[in-house]
Amino acid sequence: MPSPNVNRNSYRSRVINSRPVASVEDQPTEFHETLAPAMPGQTYRSEVIAVSRPTTIEQIITLIAVVLNTLLAIRFVLALLSANLGNTFVSFVFNLTDWLVGPFRSVFHMPATSAGGYADWASLIAIVVVSLISSLVVGLLRAARST
């Protein structure tokens, strides 16, 4: 009988690091192994998946996308809360992200909220577009690297 504090639906995951011996240029590979808890009367199953580490350019593209998305999210919240555009930080965020939001301004009407702010839908669309573009570029780089 299994112990009462064992969760039958939980899975453990561990990372096994290994270094290839073939070439110095090869990047280290990580193996992710998922282990199912032992259950009486059932077959034990383990999956091992090789995962390659992202290259420096992939990390830079991801970092730029995260920074841009963070600035766009801040812009959305500031617009929603009707932040003072005369404030240095608020004007900095709005000026820095205007080039990303500009192409999407006319897509939706921006109705004012009860607090006087507005839902800046263009910022949310820009977040989706930046995320899609960065994911596409990183995916293409990974595909080119694996072939």
Mark whether 138 and 66 lie in a shared domain. yes
Q: Is the CB of residue 104 less than 8 Å from the CB of residue 120? A: no
User: pLDDT tens across 63-103, in order?
Assistant: 999 999 999 999 999 999 989 999 999 999 999 999 999 88
> Number of structural domains, the chain?
2
Looking at the whole model, is its pTM more than 0.75?
no
In-domain check, residue 46: yes
Residue 94 neighbours by CB distance under 10 Å: 20
Domain limits for position 63? 56-146
User: pLDDT tens across 91-141, in order?
Assistant: 999 999 999 998 888 887 777 666 677 888 999 999 999 999 999 999 999
Mark whether 42 and 75 lie in a shared domain. no
**Residue (of 71, 119, 122, 69) closest to 92 by Cα position:** 71
Mark whether 60 and 114 lie in a shared domain. yes
